[in-house]
Amino acid sequence: MTSNYTTQMNAARQRIVTPQMRDVLAVEPISEQVLLEKVAAGKIAIPANKNHKNLVAGAVGEGLRTKVNVNLGVSEDCCNLDLEMKKVENALALKTDAIMDLSTFGRTREFRRKVVETCPVMIGTVPVYDAVAKYKKDPTEISVDEFFQVVEEHAEDGVDFMTIHAGLTRVAVERIRKNMRLTHVVSRGGSVLLEWMEVNQAENPFYANFDRLLDLCVKYDITLSLGDGLRPGCLKDATDAPQIQELIILGELTKACWERDVQVMIEGPGHVPLNEIVANMQLEKKLCHGAPFYVLGPLVTDVAPGYDHITSAIGGAIAATYGADFLCYVTPAEHLRLPDLNDMKEGIIASRIAAHAADIAKGLPGAMDWDNQMSAARKNLDWSGMLDLAIDPEKARAYRESSKPLDEEVCTMCGDLCAVKRSKRVLEDK
């Protein structure tokens, strides 16, 4: 069967409803008409590589449920493929909406193909990391063709969205030098490209060859996740000139993508003081013309390594209320080590809490139904209902069972002083 459209955006612009759009319509509170309009306008992206055969497509953007992404992958310090596949399995069980394979070492292609094959959710990668793994040479010696070779391999393997730091241009580097930061560049891909540009005295290879990148995107329907190589790595650097300069360039690249019917998401900070989060959301939506916003955190303080799932849940909930569409999870291990299975779980739940709180706050139809069911179970002292409805029934059940009250109807927090029981007696039982 030959398709009469290239990308999901191209289909939407022809008013063709694709199978992937049907997946989205089945689970999101949006009409076919509105979905077509927003995909056509770039306000919603449906990352769906033509080679990701078992994908049940999800969508990211305006008017949709806030999505959560999990990062994993093998690295030099931690190259156990089986453990990483266990993470994939757990992430799916914990209801992640996306998985990014950030492998940087070893049998990366084998792992990547396995992940795509296993996962019905969208898969993302950062090809620059894999280029470092693949060519085993100083990253500054990787050629432009070699970078593109990796992008094409990822595309062939069925990766749905790719982080490309094409906005970290020479103009943006000039901003860094004129506005020195406390923590410089904290993006891995960004720092590799920064050094590459410096040593080779050349423009960012993805910016200089952006049309070549778009050719691949059209061919496979890759969604570009335009990376924020200059995201702030600490509160002090937030919302500064380098960050905003890069965002301006990402906005220009967004238009170039849309001219070719290529879908785009924009990646965002990072570490941001709570009072600057709303401005950051507004700036992205304005400078990038309403493209979906994919944020890492933002972390609202720098002082809590070991608890950055919490610092980022605070920032993420606010961000998603005011414009972010997609939250990259952050685990308690952030800034300290690669996360283990337990860290991953803590990170996913914290991100899902932030996403859900934001969906309620932005008035997503039906978002509060879950809360209302839980509250009704609480009012009725229906413990089995409460535990089943919990975002993590296993943890809730373990807590409950570890400390049984004298009266099984209540809990050990209040015992006989249970306000729910007492107020029900006064207000209902008469």
To 10 degrees, what angle do helices 308-321 and 341-361 make? 30
The residues in 357-416 that bind a copy of itself, with binding defined as CB under 8 A, are: 357-358, 360-363, 368, 370-372, 374-376, 378-379, 386-387, 389-392, 395-396, 399-400, 402-403, 405-406, 411-416
Site residues (CB under 8 A) for a copy of itself, limited to 5-64 = none
Q: Give the interface segment with a copy of itself, choosing from 28-36, 109-117, 213-221, 229-237 (CB under 8 A).
A: 229-237
Dihedral (CA of 210, 215, 218, 222) sign: negative
The binder of a copy of itself chosen from 81, 85, 105, 107 (CB under 8 A)? 105
Residue among 57, 176, 247, 319 that touches a copy of itself (CB under 8 A): 176
Residue 13 CB, shortest distance to a copy of itself, in Å, is: 34
Q: Figure out which of the listed residues 41, 241, 248, 338 binds a copy of itself, where binding follows CB under 8 A.
A: 338
> Which span sits near a copy of itself by CB under 8 A: 13-21, 24-32, 76-84, 153-161?
76-84
Nearest approach, Cβ of 269 to a copy of itself (angstroms)?
14
The tokens for 422 are: 């007492």
- Residues of span 151-170 touching a copy of itself by CB under 8 A: none
Give 16 or 368: the residue with its C-beta nearer to a copy of itself: 368
Q: Shortest gap between Cβ of 127 and a copy of itself (angstroms)?
A: 13
Residue 233 engages a copy of itself in binding (rule: CB under 8 A): yes
Shortest separation between residue 80's beta carbon and a copy of itself, angstroms:
12
Residues numbered 130 to 149 that lie near a copy of itself (CB under 8 A) are: 132
Residue 184 lies near a copy of itself (rule: CB under 8 A): yes
The answer to the question of residue 80 lying near a copy of itself (CB under 8 A) is: no
Contacts of residue 265, defined as CB under 8 A and 6 or more positions apart, other chains included, come to 45, 47, 60, 161, 223, 224, 225, 226, 291, 292, 293, 294, 325, 326
Binding residue for a copy of itself, selected from 188, 265, 266, 291, defined by CB under 8 A = 188
Among residues 256, 267, 66, 68, the alpha carbon closest in space to that of 163 is found at: 267
The verdict on 213 binding a copy of itself (CB under 8 A) reads no
Tell me how far apart the alpha carbons of residues 239 and 245 are, in angstroms, rounded to a whole number: 10
- Residue 53 identity (one-letter amino acid): K
Residue placing its CB nearer to a copy of itself in the complex, 130 or 261: 130
In terms of Cα–Cα distance, which of 224, 226, 319 is closest to 271?
A: 319
Closest CA to 30 of 69, 68, 58, 4: 58
